[in-house]
Amino acid sequence: MAQTLKIQGDPDSEILVASKDSFTTGVPVGYEEPIPPAPEVFRTRTKQSNLDASEYMEEVNNGIRFTDKLDYPGPPDVAGAVRAARDTQDSFFTVSADIKAAHRLVKIRESDWRLLVCKSNSDSDVCWVNKVGTFGVSSALYWWSRLFGLAGRLVARVLLNRWVVQLVYVDDLHVVCVGEEKFETLWMTIAAYEALGTPFGYKKFSGGLDVQFVGYRVDYLNMSVGISEARGQWLLTFLRELRRDAFTVHVHRFAEFLGRLGFTCRVLLWLKPHLAPLYSWASAVSKSTVATAPRLVRLVCMFLEKQFEEQKFMFSCLKPRRLTNEVFRTDAKCENNLVVLAGYHFPDGRWFSVRVTPHDAPYLFKENGDSEWASAPAELLSVLVALQLFGYLEPKSGRTCIRLWVQSGTDNRSIDFLSRKNSTTRWPLTLVNMQLSHCLMRAGVRISLAWRPRDQNTLADDLTNSRFGDVDLSKRIDIELSDLDLSLLLSLWEARQEFLDRDSWAVYGKGRDKFEKSAWG
């Protein structure tokens, strides 16, 4: 490998056979001695974090420091591979493969074996010494990535100009071959890896045009990536059972759900910004307890249940169409017992000015009718109204992914801050944000909200004040707020009212210490 890679000009070939600290002699764990960087292979790591928070003793992982940053292929990269294969307009075939005991294929230098000692149980007199990459030690993943990176680059160069894409995530390999010689290319790829000694787990191979890769479903025929129907139904069933049990749950089971939900949200990006309350609660309550979720957690779970009931678990790999020019501008005015939402559509001059009362939107008003405190949710609601009225949320056939970015201007800095992470826990801004996310998911749209000072947003501001001299009156869209689809927002508001008198942080006692994960998909 070293000789071939050197001839090929690979920048990391020396690490295979160097006289000191190589894959031949054994690599360092990296404990209290930073692993030397490979700048031509990895990006530079700029932030270090403790991997173990224990206070009673020093753990090996906390003493390991990296100078290189590992990057992993995620759903966007998989979508890129699907899109690239389909863009050739040629036939193609894919295989997902598994490498057995990947981390343990790396030899560790003898001076570091002392760091890899363990016992089968605390009462045993027998100590086991690992001489190879050890699961649970943070540098094991780094060294395996570096080793398999060498193998992958060698195979890619051997194939010369044949059309092939390889994606590697830890011990999972995904290969796409295109053209009349696709099967020959595939066999050459596997043969090359075998010649290098790659221990494939052939029982876990899958091939075709609809395969699994690191838990994601990859459908090349329909150009989509997501999770399987079975995995999606597991999440939906958990949420339904949680609501049935009045949101009382074993926290360990909730943490299991949260981990799988986080995995899913790498595909369903619209949902990710809403998960912060769930993580906060799960981290604040002992996993060995049974507890009742607080109000905000319950509302988020109800929102998620609604999404999984109505949405698919796949998104399209088609490249989204981007609108870089500002297409509409919105504003909102909040007064006593009145909120006015307004917006102007630049392409065709259509506009709206909607008067909202406490009866129409009770979540924007206090009991005395005051609404000035609700400027941020009112601004976001005006954006949602504009998206619906100007046609950006109309359902399209087969449109299940990020298809469009709409850059709109608002004059409220809170909305600008919200748009950066698409997340908020402010009340009732979070309700409006959930309704917006729901509509965007259904239409396959993502938006970017850009802030504009009020003096640059005079047209929309005029519309909130019933000054219509600069617009075409015939292009007004006459509607009432009740004409719009805000069903999720209203249902969450009603549920919130029901939760007000309940104890939001009830803990009922200790559950089982040992907990087995349930099957997923």
Residue pLDDT, tens place only, 417-455: 565 556 566 778 888 988 988 888 888 777 776 666 666
Do residues 313 and 232 make contact, with C-beta atoms less than 8 angstroms apart?
A: yes
Token pair, residue 110, equals 């003898």
120: amino acid identity, one letter: S
HEC profile of 481-516: HHHCCCHHHHHHHHHHHHHCCCCCCCEEEECCCCCC
pLDDT higher than threshold 60 for residue 343: yes
Domain 2-224: which topology? Alpha-Beta Plaits (3.30.70)
CA distance 189 to 163: 11
**Residue 147's pLDDT is what?**
96
Selection from 431, 418, 429 nearest residue 487 by Cα:
431
Token pair, residue 418, equals 């919200």
**Residue 399's pLDDT is what?**
41
CA distance 246 to 244: 5
Angle at which helices 229-244 and 295-310 cross, to 10°: 140
CB-CB neighbours of 519 under 10 Å = 7
CATH node for 325-499: 3.30.420.10
Q: Which stretch of DSSP H or E encloses residue 77?
A: helix 75-87
pTM of the model: 0.76
CA distance 242 to 298: 9
Better-scored residue on pLDDT, 421 or 520: 520
pLDDT higher than threshold 90 for residue 84: yes
pLDDT higher than threshold 70 for residue 391: yes
**Residue 162's pLDDT is what?**
94
Q: What percentage of the chain exceeds 90 in pLDDT?
A: 51
**Residue 207's pLDDT is what?**
93
Average pLDDT across the chain, whole number: 85
**Residue 312's pLDDT is what?**
73
**Residue 318's pLDDT is what?**
79
**Residue 431's pLDDT is what?**
86
**Residue 131's pLDDT is what?**
96
- The three-state secondary structure class of 211 is strand
pLDDT higher than threshold 70 for residue 30: yes
> Can you give the residue ranges of every domain in the chain?
2-224, 229-315+504-510, 325-499
Q: What percentage of the chain exceeds 70 in pLDDT?
A: 85
Do residues 346 and 327 make contact, with C-beta atoms less than 8 angstroms apart?
A: yes
Question: Cα torsion for 110, 116, 119, 121, to the nearest 10°?
Answer: -170
Look up tokens 């210490």; give the residue. 513
Please state the φ and ψ torsions of residue 133, each to the nearest 5 degrees.
-50, 130
Per-residue pLDDT tens digits for 31-56: 988 888 999 999 998 876 655 555 54
Q: What are the C-alpha distances in Å from 318 to residues 174, 308, 420? A: 20, 22, 24
CA distance 48 to 369: 50
